[in-house]
A and B are shown apart, each in its own frame.
Chain A
Amino acid sequence: MSKRLSSIIGWGVFVGLVLIAWSFLRTLNWDDLAWYVVSPSTESGRQNLAFLMGGVKYTLLMSITAICISIVLGLIIALPGLSPSPNVRMINRVYVELVRAVPILVLIFWVYYGLPILHDDININVFWAGVIALALSDSAFEAEIFRAGIQSIDKGQLEAADSIGLGYFGRLRYVILPQAIRRILPPLGNQLVYMLKMSSLVSVIGMEELTRRANELVVSTYRPLEIYTVLVLEYLVLILIVSAGVRWLERKLQANESV
């Protein structure tokens, strides 16, 4: 087939697709859209927008608290996974397999409705129930990320650390983690993005974060398309900012290494 012919066919297909898309879009109910409910140019629109965006701080606070806890927890769980002893490694395996198997939504219900039954003094509010459930669930993934990152460090580094008399924690603190962190950071960034999205599930137990507020507004305005579109954009912006932050951190670490 000549180059000319294939390019003509290519363009033909393209134009065809555009026509099909156009005729489909024409059938949609554009006139029914009511952007005024979230329009900054009207008073009620501004109020609605402010209400929707007011959830950002809870979404962020919950996700960041949860990821901090899950990083610490993940590291603690990763360490036995690096032991030469199969029995100690078992601790890591059991935790990871068990926690990974529980859907986050189920974990949220379990922590919020289940745990308080265990003891009269346990009284978990919605925020902490969400944080605990998110952190627990994420810690299993963090543990795997840490384990892989630490295992990727050259064995010679461990031997050099041993040979200057560093102990287990000295070796970890001064030799392994500073090197592993560069490899851990990208998957950690992914995990943070994942966490931001999963925090929307905490809306089901009444946490007033982004998704909950959107739901409430939908109930009172009957405008799901417009409001959920704003919600999508809110998550999109948050996640783009987080990604940019993680990339900035990665670049900074790399710059440090290659002075």
Chain B
Amino acid sequence: MTSIKTATASESAPLIEMRDVVKRYGDFEALGGVSISVNSGQRVVVCGPSGSGKSTLIRCLNQLEKHDAGEIFIDGQRLSQLSASGLRKIRADVGMVFQQFNLFPHLTVLENLTLGPMRTRKLSEDAARKLALDHLEKVHIPEQANKYPRQLSGGQQQRVAIARSLCMEPKILLFDEPTSALDPEMIVEVLDVMVELASTGITMLVVTHEMGFANQVADTIVFMDGGKIVESNDPETFFSNPASERGRAFLKKILRH
């Protein structure tokens, strides 16, 4: 169990806080008591071997998975105490980008982007459309607004998915292996967008195997194994001199590729 604190904003309350969070699937403990705290503006990369609980961790943060024990606070609100509508508000504040994009195939790109703002944030259609076009611009595909997801390349789809999250104007963006389903030539265009996002100061939690991205963007690397956080460190230390033996072994394996 490790907790992350940066010196920059330690006096203000953390934006995300997990305390001894446990998540079980049947008898299996996918998270075995995880504690982490992330301040506003922090960029955390979560890595670790397959099955170590990375997805489970970030899915608990917007309650796609309900945790079984421990506490999670987002912006000071305890998730386990929220009503359904309270949870919807939190989810509007916590954007999620999925490995498989999960765009809505029956809606155009623009409609994908305006759905949340119109139905959750109750913006007018005009306001939502303007917001959507703004964010499409930010992910560099304004010209695709009226196409359907299947008409786009994987990289473009993932950028639409990022824009869809941004249209909710979230405080936190979660990414679960956003480039793992992409062909190599498309990974860069998505990572570029994420790097640009990072520079806007939004709080990001990114599960990824892209260690170059982690090195460039993260201020903290969290290394997980067996449902626990084994180590959390700044990138320089983690990449040059990981504190844990398992971290070292993982890096050796992943950097060989």
Interface-facing stretch out of B69-77, B97-105, B133-141, B198-206: B97-105
> Is A224 located at the chain interface by the 8 A CB criterion?
no
Q: Are B120 and A165 in contact (CB under 8 A)?
A: yes
Taking CB atoms, residues of chain B closer than 8 Å to A259 are: 148
Taking CB atoms, residues of chain A closer than 8 Å to B85 are: 167
CB distance from B204 to the nearest CB of A (A): 15
Taking CB atoms, residues of chain A closer than 8 Å to B119 are: 165-166, 170, 174
Q: Are A163 and B95 in contact (CB under 8 A)?
A: yes
Q: Is the interface of A mostly helix, strand, loop or mixed?
A: helix
- With beta carbons under 8 angstroms apart, the residue of B89, B92, B100, B106 that contacts A164 is B92
> Is B168 located at the chain interface by the 8 A CB criterion?
yes
A175-B104, A257-B105 are known contacts. Are A164 and B115 too (CB-CB below 8 A)? yes
Question: Could you list some 22 contacts between A and B, CB below 8 A?
Answer: A156-B102, A159-B102, A160-B104, A162-B62, A162-B64, A162-B91, A163-B62, A163-B64, A163-B91, A163-B94, A163-B165, A164-B115, A164-B116, A164-B164, A165-B88, A165-B89, A174-B104, A178-B106, A179-B104, A179-B105, A258-B148, A259-B148
CB distance from A124 to the nearest CB of B (A): 40
Q: Are A174 and B115 in contact (CB under 8 A)?
A: yes
> Is A157 located at the chain interface by the 8 A CB criterion?
yes
CB distance from B148 to the nearest CB of A (A): 6
Of A156, A160, A161, A165, the most chain B CB neighbours within 10 A belong to A165
**How distant is the Cα of A167 from the Cα of B83 in the complex, in angstroms?**
12
> Is B249 located at the chain interface by the 8 A CB criterion?
no
- With beta carbons under 8 angstroms apart, the residue of A157, A167, A178 that contacts B102 is A157
Q: Which residues of B contact A (CB under 8 A)?
A: 62, 64, 84-85, 88-89, 91-92, 94-96, 98, 100, 102-106, 115-116, 119-121, 148, 150, 161, 164-165, 168
Assign chain A's interface to a size class.
20 to 34
Q: Are A160 and B92 in contact (CB under 8 A)?
A: no
**How distant is the Cα of A159 from the Cα of B95 in the complex, in angstroms?**
11
Known: A163-B94, A258-B148. 16 other contacts (CB 8 A): A157-B102, A159-B64, A160-B96, A161-B104, A162-B62, A163-B64, A164-B91, A164-B165, A164-B168, A165-B88, A165-B92, A167-B84, A175-B115, A179-B104, A257-B106, A257-B148
CB distance from B218 to the nearest CB of A (A): 22
Closest chain B residue, CB of each to CB of A169 = B119
Q: Are B148 and A160 in contact (CB under 8 A)?
A: no
Closest chain A residue, CB of each to CB of B91 = A165
